[in-house]
Amino acid sequence: MSDLLPDDVFSTLQPAAVWAHFATLCAIPRHSKDEERLRAHLLAWAGEKGLDAVVDAAGNLIIRKAASAGRETAPGVVLQAHLDMVCQKNADSDHDFSRDPIAPALRDGWLVAEKTTLGAENGIGVELILAALADVNVVHGQL
């Protein structure tokens, strides 16, 4: 697979909804103890989607999605992931995890980041949860 420009790096990946959320996580710096920008973004996103969202006293973002019609008595499901990322970079990198976005690239069919970790150690969990919360076609109990 050829290299794609950073703006296009996710355009060929499927499922598109998951990778769109991953692009957001790459764009917003989120090292441990500094997840406020991402948390605020996701709080606003949840509000735009009409989802109930709160941040508790410990800083946990909790988003709830009501059950689908006819599934109100089905057991609820808790989906959990963490917003921060492990920040590792090559010795020759001047990447600043407090301000610089992750620079993803496709190399030989692999999604990688230039001179840093991709930040995907739990990012994919966040993206999958967001995709599930945004999907209006999935029939479910409370999420």
pLDDT at 86 over 70: yes
Strand (E) or helix (H) holding 131: helix 123-134
DSSP string, 34-100: --HHHHHHHHHHHHHTT-EEEE-TT--EEEE-PPPTT-TTSPP------S-B---B-TT----TTTP
How would residue 11 be classed by pLDDT, with cut points 50, 70 and 90?
A: confident
Q: What does the pLDDT read at residue 63?
A: 98
CA distance 36 to 30: 8
Q: What does the pLDDT read at residue 117?
A: 87
pLDDT at 114 over 90: no
| Residue 36 structure tokens | 């406020």
pTM of the model: 0.87
* Whether 18 contacts 129, CB under 8 Å: no
Looking at every residue in the chain, the average pLDDT score rounds to: 90
- Per residue in 32-55, pLDDT (tens digit) is 889 999 999 999 999 999 999 999
Q: What does the pLDDT read at residue 4?
A: 40
How would residue 88 be classed by pLDDT, with cut points 50, 70 and 90?
A: very high
